[in-house]
Structure formats: structure tokens, C-alpha cells
Structure 1
Amino acid sequence: MAEQTRRHGSQIVDHGVSFNLWAPTARSVELLEIGQPPRKMPRDDDGWYQLLSPTAHVGTRYQFRINEDLVVPDPASFFQPDDVGAPSEVIDTAALRDSLIYPGRPWAEAVIYELHVGTFSEAGTYAGVEEKLPYLRDLGISAIELMPLNDVPGRHNWGYDGVLLNAPNARYGRPEDLKRLLRAAHALDIMVYLDVVYNHFGPQLNYLHSYAENFFTARHATGWGPAVNLEGQDGSFVREFLVDNALMWLRDYGFDGLRFDAVHALKDDSERHFLIELAETLRSQLAGRHVHLMLENEANQAHLLERSNGRARHYDAQWGDDFHNALHVLLTGEDEGYYRAFADRPLEHLARSLTEGFAYQGENFPLHQVPRGEPSAHLPPEATIFFAQNHDQIGNRAFGERLSRLVRPEKLEQAMALVLLSPHIPMLFMGEETAAETPFLFFADWTGEAAELTREGRRKEFSHFKAFATPETRAEIPDPCDERTFQASKLDWTSIDQSPAGARFRALTTQLLTIRREKIVPLVKRGFVSAQRDLIGADPRMGGVDVRWRTEQGEVLQIVANFADHELPMPPLVEGESLWRLRGSEAEALVPGDIIVRLGQKG
């Protein structure tokens, strides 16, 4: 399939720059090129305004004026050097492409480290991340995942409320600095993934409604308002825009994969769902590389993760929220909010996630009283990404507490061993490898009404929790729009580097990842053909699990874990090699917090 020709945004051509804006509900559009008089842009029947400027070049700044009144940036801008409301800059993203393309690594080798560029280092820049790459390589990390880079208003933001999807946030550096980060990572054989958001746009300085009302549709609703329009003729332009965005990150910048945020909110009744078109287009356009496509999907749609001849047809994996939620209940005892759906049978939910990927596969989901999920037992373990912590599960807590502030060290170690030594793809959140205690709070830099709505929405979100039942307790929740909330979320590397406890946990992480690389990854590559699970103990809320996976060659990987606060009887262990024993001896009983990982052979 030939490479698609991008129509959105500014395009470098032989005799200048072609400017393109899809504005079907605008009456007129003018190009405001800095240093040149305003020029009216002609329109075609599909609502495209296009103009070739012979005076423009790479580095030119420009805006559009809508209906002789509203001045806006290019919605397909490739860079906003002075924030989203200021002029856009012409960038030749094709010039960023490498002549020698990094091929990536097989999916089975992925060990993902999620980070937020603005809080990962003191500098809060791409260069700050680049400085830590040797550290991450030595730890055993094979892929970093950057939280969204698309530009948002203000000085800091998680990135999930972007308004200019093609423009990497100038707060972190220029496009060339981002490319330098990827090249440095690839030189160390570290893949780089990016989190992208296609289900909604942010609340401030999003001008699409002013000239492209058809970009959204009232036929479907989401938690963020009207859905992005993916249907019909108008929807085809939107789909093209989003596919172009994905191709830009993967082809021009050289990202090795994308994580698509909350795809259950991508409402599409078309004969060919947008998610299928997106995956098929990306895999066709980027054939020959290891490109990994990941989903966050509350709907647990196993059909998006199907394999053909051992390879993902569309998407490599989905974030394993079911696993996380069940594990969190077992570790902390918390049962409010979304944990309520896992608090009745956390052991069963955990064991089913370990052996079948999803805990909910069509059963009634207690929080919504509707069926959730599709059967997933036929999928391989690597079709789900497992974690004990991530940006959501930490940042969506009122005070952004990490597990290191919620559970004892031995439980933290048990969770780390389970995540890193299971055959599912593991993911760590920045600082987790050192048991860091700095919070990761929800932060944004909105102003005016948007800021007030965000504050009130944050407090209302926790009004159903016992700890925040009164206005006084809710008032203690950090203000997301306060600069101090952002600053408090930065990793304190000085403290981490000087912490004996952090050093011990970092050594544990490195040891576990060495075992994974040498013993678990080869099994994942050979492929598992079956899995079985048993619960240990009589209490369905607090006991142990005995899980086994078998390869076609008869190899058996066994994980036994005790989440109770008392000893449990030892189940039969497979004959073979002991890969890990967290605590306890060869005694017959499983002590609290114990986890055993063995590799044997079944005749």
C-alpha cells in the first residue's frame, strides 16, 4: 500500500508551503502569515480551505482568521513554540525521519516504564528523560511509555486534555529535542511508546467547534461531552486526521508503539469500526518494523486482540485493569469506588485475570449493572499488560499516594514479583522501581471557569468516599490548578539516590527483570497453550492463588502467592527450578506475603 498523503496542516512543497484547513462550518478563512498581509483561502465543496504560500518556509509562524473575526492556531499544527493560543510554526516532520530505521524489539521482550516528561526529572524536559536512559537500561527496562505529549494550554498538564494533537508540548522542548530522545533510546535498544488520546479534546482553547462543528457528533455522548465524529462523510475526514496523527508519531518521529486512551469512548456504528481501520492502516504502512499497538478499553473487547499465526491481527495488548484492581484490593483491603466491583471475590478475579486476561468476560459489572467484556481465555498472556501502579491508579486518588505509602514493604515486594515474573507484559510507573513515596497528583493549568470546574469536579468525584464525606474533608484535596500540586508530583531523585530502602528495592527490581529476561521471555516467545488456577484457603476475600501456565513443549511456569495475613497450606509444587522465593523456607506452609515462582516440566 502506498504511503498516504497527508492533507491536514502545513505541507512543505516545491514552491513554498501549502496550508490546509478543514473548516466546513466557517463562512471564510484567511491565512495570517507573520510578516505578510492576510490572504483569503479558497474553499472546495468538502469544506477544505487551501492556499499555497510562496513566501512561507520551515520556521514560518502563522494563524488562521475565521469569519473575519476569530484568530486560531492550525488544529493540525506540528509545533506551538509559544503555547496553544499563539501562532503555529511550520515544521517539516518528514525531515525528522531516520535513514536507518530502528526495527524495534519483539513484543515478548517488552518491559514498559511509564513516565510523565514534566515530572520525571527536575528539568521536566526531553533532555531530562534522556539523561536517565542508561539507568533505565541497566534496570532492565526495554520500553519507555511517555504520557501524552500533544499540546495543551498552560505550563503543566497530564496531557489527556490536548487540543493540538500533532504538536509536541513546547514545555518539554522542540520537536528536534524529542527526536534526539528517541534516537538516544534506540541507541540503547530501548523502545519508546507514546500515549495518544483520540476520544475527546480539552476544554480550553479548542476552537474546532467554531469552524468544524462536524468534527463532533450529537449522535453519541461521552463523559467529556459530544463524541468525536467517526461516521459518514464528515467522519471520514476526522478518521483521516487521527490516522495521520498516529502515522506522524510512528513514521516521522520513529515511536515504536502507541497506547490508545479510553477507546471504549470512540463511538462508531460504521460498518468498519475506526479501531479496525486504524490498526490495519498502521500495520500496512509500517510493515517490516516491530510496531506495538496497545489499548485502554473498559469494554474488555477480546476480538480486538485476536492473533493470526501467533501475531496480533490488530492490537498487541490491552491494559489489564482487572488484574490491577483485584490485586489492589488484596494488598490494601480498599473496597470503594471502582474497587467495589472486585472486592467480593478478589482472589478469584486475580486468578482469572492471570490465566485468562480479563476477570469480566461478559458477566454483569456491579458498578453499571450491565454485562462487561468478551471471552478472553483463548488469548495468550502477552495480550494483557499487567501493573501494580500507573498514572491513573495513583493520580486518581485524592492525595496521589503510591502503594509505597499504603502497604508494608513485603507486600510491595510481593506485588513487584508477581507483575515482573508473570508471562503477561509488565509495566512499572516512574519511581516504582525504588519504592518512591513522592505522590503523583492530578494537575492542570486551566484558568477561569475551566479551573473552577476542575476543582469542583475533583472534589465531587470523591464525595462518595467515607474519608471525604464532608465539605471540610473535601476541601483538603489538593487544587489541581495550583502550581504546588504539579511541583509536589516531581520525582525527587536526590532523595531516591540517597535512600537505602530505595537502593534495596531497585536491586530487587533488577534481579527480577534479569530472571524475566533469562527465564520468562523465552517461554512467552515459545507460547503457552493452557493455564489453570486454584485458590488456596477458605476465605474468598483473603487467601492465596496457585497459577500454572504450560507450553506446547510441556514446560510449566507456576506462581504461588499468599495474600492473607496468616499461614496457608503449601500446594503441590512442580518439580524443577526455583526461580523466586520471596520469603519463607522449604517449610510446608506459605507464610504471609510469600510468593513462589517455579519452572518445571510436565510429562
Structure 2
Amino acid sequence: MANVTSSGAVLSESRDHWGAVVTDEGTVFRVWAPKRAKVEVLLNRGAGVERHALVGKNGVFSGTFEAPAGTRYRFELDGGEAFPDPCSRWQPEGPHGPSEVVDPRTFKWTDASWPGVGAKNHVVYELHVGAFTKEGTYDALINKLPYLKSLGVTLLELMPLNGFPGNYNWGYDGVNLWAPNRTYGSPDQLRAFVDAAHAHGLGVVLDVVYNHFGPDGNYLPQFSDTWFNSERPADWGAAVNFDGPGASGVRTFVAQNAAMWVREYHFDGLRLDATQNLFDDSPRHIVADITEAARAAAGARNVWLVGEADHQERKLVQPINDGGANLDAIWVDDFHHASRVAATGEAEGYLQDYDGSARELVSLALRNSLYAGQHFAFSKHQRGTDLRRTEPHRVVFALQNHDQVSVGLRAERLHRLAGEATARALGVLHLLLPQTPMLFMGQECFADTPFPWFVDHNAELQPLVTEGRAEFLSKFASVKSAIAQGILPTAPIDGFEKARLKWDEKPHIFSLHQDLIALRKKTALINSPRRDQFDAAVLSDRELVLRWFADDGADLLLLFSLGADRDLTPCSEPLLAPPRGSRWKFVLSSEDARFGGRGVISIPDGAGAWRLQGRCATLLQAHS
């Protein structure tokens, strides 16, 4: 008997899963095609085709036939045209070619003792498989696992792997949601990567996109007319239908897909793209179905589920029984936006609603977000919910990610925009805050490689998406003026080669991140302080202090400044005072010469005068 979610999505009985599922009795083909009266599976047999009728029931057509792994096939609909399987596990010729039967049971896993990943104490590392190495493959990524392990990160978050047209893509134009992209390697090579990551003690999270489909190669409307709801105000094409007529099949498709990645590839979690565009007024939100399906598929293993959440909705991390969705964490972009303005002073586009002050950074440290329902000028709507009582580990902060690096005329990294000293100081702040930190590939060594948006569409679509990208970037006044002068952002067709990491490593910057992550991981006071153990205060518009109160008196103090060197007088902030009978001792500084800084100018001990070093973050610890 199959386990199901509350909305009826099948979770565990493999022969009931949609797509082509290899069993001991043959391969079970199942496809949801409620708009069709007749569906046949066409199996490639050498130079010929073998045809089998599927039996329909409640819009799902199925049948079991001899079709071993490697068999290519299509579904013929109502005696007319034949199309790839919407739940194809492999599209070796791309979205327009035939599907191929895959048997995940034949892969020899070595991670039987891998327990999965917990809900907290993580440092996340986002990467694009194609751009991370010169080869752009899963096999090449395996060779980088020792490097990532030595950095100290705990979770690798892969940008979407679903099949897409062309040779390269960010991944958000996916149309084959069940098939890993062919340009990175085969399904078993992806499994080998995950298996190797587990052997290195690293979890792997997959970015999945359920809020829209790409514009080329999407054949879902051939099978059902209920996939989309054009009345919803989606950002990218028509919104996916999760609550209208015929939505039950759409919900099953998505829940089964989430479970498939966890079950067949041993992924340790999922990152749900743009949850604010998963429109659903059902009694139970589709995100709850997804989380329940993924956790059921994991069995005894622990998985980590995170949502991109521009609306910063706290219900996403609340239990399902309380009306929530049971995600482990959500992205909160307020931290990036405030930090970007603090670093660069560029408050345009959606950054216009931030001033980059120390007040904003302190509010983020203590309250997890800035927008909790206030008016947001850029969108002309209220934004955010109250996250003050949300546990900090359920909030993901990033100084850089794929979206934010790409915004701007040249898609430059933070250290290129603000200078290395400012980027180092913000990096220290970021990795010591109680919230879950996420790095973007190359950030740990201040890679100079930009990360522009890139896609490889057909000759008809490519000019349209190029124009659309320029229109989006024109929401930033600086980019709009450059375009008016004929100076254009990187064309999407050229972006991939520019985005590929050149690995011009800066070992001193890597050492800074490595030391910070090691300190964070070994210090519970930093990675998971109690509410009464952590506080913060504003020293000036460009300066702040963080304080961790240790039960044994070994308190920690972070002095952070994006201003100039100055004497701190009067010295009236009580958080600066060391515990009675103790003095502050030096732990780490972003301006330490070994990290590429100019050197440390002052180490205040708390007994004498204070001098703050500008564009610097200095960590101190109390010693008696």
C-alpha cells in the first residue's frame, strides 16, 4: 500500500510513481494525461518502434512492458504526435528528443551509514555545476570535494539540474524536471557525485523550480490543460496551478518529483525557488506537500529543506499542524540588501528601501529581518512578516548568491564593487552571526570572475530573453543610463564563459573564511547562542558591536566598522565592558596582514581607551 500525503501525492510505492519505473516484472510506464482518451508508449527497438497501449484510469495511463534501462521511448497521444515523458528520468538528446529508461537500483551506493543532515549548525555553499570547474561536469566536481571539505562548509547547494534546451543555462528555464541535465553527465554520474560528497562528510542540497517552466521544450500542456493559471500575477510566464480545477495532478507531480530527488539520488535536501510565486489558496499549501513528500522519501535520513522567500513568510518554517509548511529555513534577502548598500552606497532598484546603516545590520542580527509588513517602495506593497521569534538557524543570510551577483552592469563580486577591506569586514560579520550563513562559489577566495545571467536558447528566443534581461536590469538607474549610452550588460549568450570560475585563488582570503568557519563550527556560543547570550548595539551610523555572553565568563565581542579609524569617545556603550575581573584579548581581525589586510592598529582590552579600526571587524574574547 502506497503512503500518500494529505493531498494524495504518492510517496513510497515505486511502481506507483509516474514516469518509467523499472521493476523485476518489467518497466511500469505511468503518465498523467487527463485531456487524452488514448495514450500509447512507443519503444525504440533498433531501427523500429514497438507500440503498446496504456490503460487509463482517473486521467493516469499505465502499463508494464519489457523495456530495460537504456530503452528510448515517447508517448503518442490520441493517435497523433508523440512526446517525451513529462516524468522522464533522462533526456540524452535534450528536451525535444526521446526519453530514456533509467534503473536507479543498479547504482552501487556506499553511503549506507550516512545519517543525512540536521536542521542547524550549517554553512551552506551555493554553486553552479557547469560554471564551477573548467570541465563543468559532476566528475570534475568530485575532484573539488577535498577543497570544499577543507573550507569547512557543511552543505553544497547545487543550482537547478533539471533538463533545459541548449548547452548552458542557470537552470531556471527547466522543462524536464525529473531528468538531470545531460551536459553535466549521466544520472549515475550525478549519483556518484552525491555518494562521494557523503564520503567526504558533505551534504548536498538541490535547487528545484516549481513556480514556472522554461519557454522551450515544455510539452506538459499536451497532456493536460490544467497546468497553469493565467490569472495569477507570476513573474515568469503563467503561474503553475496548485489550487484551481485539475490541480490535484499538478500537486502530485510536484510532490513526487521532490521525493524522487531524495529517494533516487540521495539528495540531503531541497531549496525551493521563489516560494512567493507558488500561489496556493488551498487549505494546505503546496509547500507543505513538498516537505512531507521529501521527508517521507528520506526515511530515517535527515534532510534540510529551505525556501527562497522574497515575502519572508514565517509560516514556511512553522509546523504543518500549525498551518505552516515545515521547511527548515528560509532565505532572508534583507541581509544582503542592507549589506550591499552599506558596502557600496548604491541604493537603487530594490535596494532603494535600505540605507545600509549599522542600525539595519543590528536589527538583522537581533530580529532576523528588517521588513515585517512595512511598505516597500520598490514593489509598492507591504513586505515581510515578523521573524523576531523565529530561531536564527531557520534564517539564511548571504552576502552573495547567484541572483545578487548578477545584478548590475558587469555582474561583479562584492569585493570588486566595495574593495577587499570592506568585503573582508562584512565577511567576518556574516560568518559570526547566529543566522545560517551561505557562501556563493568563489566568495571564499574573492574570485574576480563575474556571474552574469546566461542562457542558450534557439535563434528565435535568444533575442527575446536578452531584451527581457536588459529590461529587468533597467530597473537599476545606473544600468538604464549605461544602456542608453549603448553600453550593454553581458549578453546571456556570452555569460556562461565569463561566469566560469578561473580559480585564481587568493590563499589569504581562503584562510580567513576557513578560520571563521572553523571557529563558528567549534563554538556553540557563536553558532547557536541562547537568546539571553547574544546582543548587539549601534556605536555610530557605520559602527556596531556584537556581544556573546558565555556561562563561564569567556564572553566574545565583535567590533565592526565601515567608517574611518577613530577613538571611541565617549565610550558609553555597556556591551563594550569586559566581565568583572577580565580583559579583552585578541582573537581575529579582518585587517590582519595574514588575511591580506593592512595590519591591526589597535587591540583594546577594555581597561583603557578604545580606538576602532575603520573598514574592519575585530573579534575579542574575555580572559581573567
TM over 0.5: yes
Q: Does 1:11 align with 2:21?
A: yes
Q: Deviations over 1:239-262 (max 9, x none)?
A: 111111111111221111111110
Q: Does 1:584 align with 2:588?
A: no
Q: Does 1:596 align with 2:618?
A: yes
Inter-partner Cα distance in structure 1 for 2:318 and 2:559 = 28
Label 1:40 to 1:215 Cα distance change in 2 as closer, same or farther (>3 A). farther
Q: Does 1:208 align with 2:197?
A: no
Provide the residue aligned with 1:181 in structure 2: 193
Residue 382 (structure 1) shift: 0.9
- Secondary structure in structure 2 of the residue aligned to 1:443: coil
Q: Choose which of 347, 351, 354 in structure 1 pairs with 2:362.
A: 351
Provide the residue aligned with 2:450 in structure 1: 439
Label 1:276 to 1:133 Cα distance change in 2 as closer, same or farther (>3 A). same
Gaps of 5+ in 2: 4-10, 591-599, 605-609
Gaps of 5+ in 1: 497-501
Q: Choose which of 272, 283, 286 in structure 2 pairs with 1:260.
A: 272
Provide the residue aligned with 1:499 in structure 2: none
Point out the more displaced range, 251-260 or 210-219.
Answer: 210-219
Inter-partner Cα distance in structure 2 for 1:205 and 1:601 = 64
Q: Deviations over 1:342-377 (max 9, x none)?
A: 13x643222211111111111111212222111111
Q: Choose which of 501, 507, 511 in structure 2 pairs with 1:503.
A: 507
Inter-partner Cα distance in structure 1 for 2:315 and 2:623 = 32
Provide the residue aligned with 2:7 in structure 1: none
Inter-partner Cα distance in structure 1 for 2:300 and 2:165 = 37
Inter-partner Cα distance in structure 1 for 2:70 and 2:530 = 50
Inter-partner Cα distance in structure 2 for 1:451 and 1:476 = 16
Q: Does 1:524 align with 2:527?
A: yes
Inter-partner Cα distance in structure 1 for 2:283 and 2:394 = 25
Aligned residue identity for 1:356: R
Q: When the two structures are aligned, how many residues end up with a matched partner?
A: 584
Q: Is the 8 A contact 2:340 2:346 kept in 1?
A: yes
Q: Deviations over 1:53-99 (max 9, x none)?
A: 23x11111111223444332111010111211111110123444847
Q: Is the 8 A contact 2:602 2:613 kept in 1?
A: no
Residue 339 (structure 1) shift: 0.8
Q: Does 1:535 align with 2:538?
A: yes
Label 1:225 to 1:380 Cα distance change in 2 as closer, same or farther (>3 A). same
Residue 406 (structure 1) shift: 1.0
Q: Deviations over 1:172-229 (max 9, x none)?
A: 1011111111111111111111111111100101011222121212342311122111
Residue 14 (structure 1) shift: 3.4
Within 5 Å, which residues of 2 pair with 1:9-158? Answer: 9-35=19-45, 37=49, 39=51, 41-42=53-54, 44-54=56-66, 56-96=67-107, 98=109, 100-158=112-170
Q: Deviations over 1:416-461 (max 9, x none)?
A: 1112122221111111111110111110001133211111111212
Aligned residue identity for 1:65: E
Label 1:313 to 1:271 Cα distance change in 2 as closer, same or farther (>3 A). closer
Label 1:246 to 1:357 Cα distance change in 2 as closer, same or farther (>3 A). same
Q: Is the 8 A contact 2:410 2:489 kept in 1?
A: yes
Q: Is the 8 A contact 1:97 1:251 kept in 2?
A: no
Label 1:223 to 1:428 Cα distance change in 2 as closer, same or farther (>3 A). same
Residue 553 (structure 1) shift: 8.2
Label 1:19 to 1:551 Cα distance change in 2 as closer, same or farther (>3 A). farther
- Secondary structure in structure 2 of the residue aligned to 1:30: strand
Q: Deviations over 1:278-325 (max 9, x none)?
A: 2233334435322101110011111222479xxx98112112310111
Inter-partner Cα distance in structure 2 for 1:438 and 1:254 = 31
Residue 9 (structure 1) shift: 0.5
Q: Is the 8 A contact 1:357 1:383 kept in 2?
A: no
Point out the more displaced range, 206-215 or 106-115.
Answer: 106-115
Inter-partner Cα distance in structure 2 for 1:599 and 1:356 = 24
Q: Choose which of 499, 514, 517 in structure 2 pairs with 1:513.
A: 517
Inter-partner Cα distance in structure 1 for 2:339 and 2:286 = 33
Provide the residue aligned with 1:314 in structure 2: 326
Q: Choose which of 194, 206, 229 in structure 2 pairs with 1:194.
A: 206
Inter-partner Cα distance in structure 1 for 2:382 and 2:210 = 25
Label 1:220 to 1:600 Cα distance change in 2 as closer, same or farther (>3 A). farther
Label 1:579 to 1:336 Cα distance change in 2 as closer, same or farther (>3 A). same
Label 1:467 to 1:445 Cα distance change in 2 as closer, same or farther (>3 A). closer
Provide the residue aligned with 1:490 in structure 2: 500
Report the TM-score when normalising by structure 2.
0.88
Q: Is the 8 A contact 1:216 1:227 kept in 2?
A: yes
Residue 336 (structure 1) shift: 0.8
Inter-partner Cα distance in structure 2 for 1:300 and 1:156 = 31
Q: Choose which of 344, 368, 371 in structure 2 pairs with 1:360.
A: 371
- Secondary structure in structure 1 of the residue aligned to 2:230: strand
Inter-partner Cα distance in structure 1 for 2:30 and 2:319 = 39
Residue 526 (structure 1) shift: 6.1
Label 1:244 to 1:367 Cα distance change in 2 as closer, same or farther (>3 A). same
Q: Does 1:243 align with 2:255?
A: yes
- Secondary structure in structure 2 of the residue aligned to 1:138: helix
- Secondary structure in structure 1 of the residue aligned to 2:205: strand
- Secondary structure in structure 2 of the residue aligned to 1:419: helix
Q: Choose which of 431, 435, 443 in structure 2 pairs with 1:424.
A: 435
Label 1:467 to 1:198 Cα distance change in 2 as closer, same or farther (>3 A). closer
Label 1:573 to 1:191 Cα distance change in 2 as closer, same or farther (>3 A). farther
Q: Does 1:298 align with 2:310?
A: yes
Inter-partner Cα distance in structure 1 for 2:550 and 2:394 = 16
Inter-partner Cα distance in structure 2 for 1:116 and 1:524 = 27
- Secondary structure in structure 2 of the residue aligned to 1:225: coil
Inter-partner Cα distance in structure 2 for 1:305 and 1:557 = 30
Aligned residue identity for 1:8: W
Inter-partner Cα distance in structure 1 for 2:228 and 2:339 = 38
